[in-house]
Amino acid sequence: MSEWWRGAVVYQIYPRSFQDHSGDGIGDLKGIIQRLPHVASLGVDAIWLSPFFASPMKDMGYDVSNYTDVDPMFGTLADFDEMVARAHELGLKVIIDQVLSHTSDQHPWFQDSRQGRSGPFADWYVWADPNPDGSPPNNWPSVFGGSAWAWEPRRRQYYLHNFLDTQPDLNFHTPAVQDALLETMRFWLDRGVDGFRLDTVNFYVHDALLRDNPPHAPEPDGQIPVNPYDMQDHVRSKNQPENLGVLERMRALTEEYVDRAMVGEVGDRDHAIRLMSEYTAGDRRLHMAYSFDMLGPEFTAAHFRDKIESFFAGAPDGWPSWSFSNHDVPRHVSRWERHGPDADSVAKLAIGMLASFEGTIGLYQGEELGQTETDLMYTELTDPVGLRFWPENKGRDGCRTPMTWESHRPNAGFSDGTPWLPVKPPQAARNVAAQEGDAGSVLQHYRRVLAFRKSREELVRGRTAFLDLPEPLLAFHRDTGGSRLTCVFNLSPKGRTLTVPAGLEAVGPGQAAALDGTALTLGPNGYAFLEGWPQG
């Protein structure tokens, strides 16, 4: 087994927004095929495709109505097979999303289950009787607002939906559900995919007794959260110990194939790092897991150090996946721009840091351009989160606007039609063509950093040991046992100088750094890779 995934760089493609080939304003599989050479040119190892399955698109494909077919807006199974073949020709592995905790309410399984309390799919979803006063069976809320329970008059029962009421939760306590989902995964493995990204992996199993969640501790500032979901500690509605058995069955399935891998999304504000460690410990569960701990506003050396150290303390033999952006959060350049002199400096610092972290790393389409969050009006939104919680939470559309390719083409080269989300001038200005010929661009910096990472075994497989430096300096060694690389970062818009051992040499791309004897000067957002730091 090559364990290609260990230390790999995975590039996330959001199909709706990558490249429109058909001209209908929505990205598609043929468009992805057209642009795969760009992805390969970055020096990444794999692509992760967000959902492209048949769906009514109430949550942009995260509501699946057929797990084993392509939605017509994206193309056909033949297009998918062509895309996988082309990716493999370019040396790219292919990971696809699997949305298994819930289905669309249009899925045939749910259409049968909602009819009554008997039948082949009656217990495939989470059903519960009302309380004597007609209220839902417990206090569980939906991530998207309101109760996590919706009434079905045909059964005279409530069904669970952790997200939209059109996304009913599957009942993983029913063995046939697990069996059926494993078969849908096998379908894609047989078509040649190299692995899966498992959506909401800690949501699979719920507390069978349907006990209430306890309240969450009050916010430090005393404010009530925008979303009441954040007022509970979700120890009953998700994060159940039985989840481990499900993961072990999935791992056993991948072990039937050669060099397949799974990465799980752990969504939890309090327990994510612990669950990441638990879900990847040993060799019978997930290959990798990631959380939202590096996808938020926090930007301090202490924060990044704590997350990395906490993970490996919990699972010395586990493996994390770290990302700074994805399709669910504001783009990191916009989140962290105040910590640098300009957006480009922050973007270049971010890839230097991320490429140095122990684990597998994920890039989200457009971040190689230093892409920023799109400012949208309410009338332009499609995301149910933004529509529900505007203006305090503007939702996820701002990071999902189309990829920008050429400034002289309509919609920056994404589509000749009207795009499903607008391409605005600040985003169009950051396009691939404009940055290709600029040696100082964010795009070219990404390529240099990723090539350096791939060339250094310390960054791919080396273990991490942090240095005790004051904020805003983040520094650590990456050791293989035979060689050491030291990484030093200035997470600040102000320059910093620190004393380092004599005899060091600066190597690799770096940014705004100068080494003069024992003085290492890091400009705003400056960073350096150093060789020769004494052992011990």
Write phi, then psi, for 102 (nearest 5 degrees).
-150, 165
Cα–Cα dist 212/210, whole Å = 7
389 shares its domain with 477: no
324 shares its domain with 389: yes
475 shares its domain with 338: no
Domain of residue 526 covers: 462-531
- Domain containing 480 — which CATH number? 2.60.40.1180
- The two structure tokens encoding residue 440: 């100082």
Cα–Cα dist 477/509, whole Å = 17
Cα–Cα dist 382/59, whole Å = 9
Residue 168 and residue 125 in contact, taking contact as beta carbons nearer than 8 Å: yes
Cα–Cα dist 19/470, whole Å = 44
What average pLDDT values come out for the chain (536 residues) when binned by 10 residues?
A: 93 98 98 98 98 98 98 98 98 98 98 96 98 98 97 98 98 98 98 98 98 94 93 97 98 98 96 96 97 97 98 95 98 98 98 98 98 98 96 97 96 98 98 97 98 98 97 98 96 98 97 97 98 92
The answer to whether position 142 is within a domain reads no
59 shares its domain with 40: yes
271 shares its domain with 377: yes
Helix (H) or strand (E) holding 93: strand 93-98
Quote the number of domains for the chain.
Answer: 2
The answer to whether position 144 is within a domain reads no
Which residue, 414, 431, 452, sits at the end of a domain? 452
- The conformational region for residue 413 under phi > 0 = left, psi -120 to 50 = alpha, else beta, is left
Cα–Cα dist 189/256, whole Å = 10
362 shares its domain with 493: no
Q: Which of 292, 381, 296 is nearest to 331 (CA)?
A: 296
467 shares its domain with 429: no
Which residue, 431, 452, 473, sits at the end of a domain? 452
Indicate the SS3 state at residue 274: helix
Hey, which residues are catalytic here?
Answer: 199, 256
The answer to whether position 159 is within a domain reads no
The answer to whether position 439 is within a domain reads yes
The answer to whether position 155 is within a domain reads no
431 shares its domain with 478: no
Residue 61 and residue 55 in contact, taking contact as beta carbons nearer than 8 Å: yes
| Residue-level pLDDT at 222 | 86
| Residue-level pLDDT at 346 | 98
Indicate the SS3 state at residue 334: helix
Which residue, 406, 430, 452, sits at the end of a domain? 452
The answer to whether position 164 is within a domain reads no
- Strands (E) across 318-395 are located at 321-323, 360-364
Indicate the SS3 state at residue 515: strand
| Residue-level pLDDT at 31 | 98
Write the DSSP symbol of residue 78: H
Cα–Cα dist 214/187, whole Å = 40
Cα–Cα dist 38/315, whole Å = 36
- The two structure tokens encoding residue 194: 């190299």
Cα–Cα dist 412/427, whole Å = 9
- The conformational region for residue 119 under phi > 0 = left, psi -120 to 50 = alpha, else beta, is left
277 shares its domain with 362: yes
316 shares its domain with 412: yes
Amino acid at 274: R
DSSP-assigned letters across all residues of 159-214: EE-SS-TTSPBB-TTSHHHHHHHHHHHHHHHHTT--EEEETTGGGS---TT-PPPP
Q: Which of 49, 39, 46, 38 is nearest to 71 (CA)?
A: 49
- The two structure tokens encoding residue 88: 């493999």
207 shares its domain with 187: yes
442 shares its domain with 522: no
Which runs of consecutive H residues, i.e. helices, occur in 355-455? Answer: 384-389, 425-428, 432-436, 442-455
The answer to whether position 140 is within a domain reads no
| Residue-level pLDDT at 219 | 86
Residue 73 and residue 28 in contact, taking contact as beta carbons nearer than 8 Å: yes
Which runs of consecutive H residues, i.e. helices, occur in 220-342? Answer: 243-254, 272-280, 301-314, 332-336
Is the pTM above the cut of 0.85?
Answer: yes
- Domain containing 57 — which CATH number? 3.20.20.80
Residue 248 and residue 254 in contact, taking contact as beta carbons nearer than 8 Å: no
The answer to whether position 189 is within a domain reads yes
| Neighbouring C-beta atoms of residue 82, cutoff 10 Å | 16
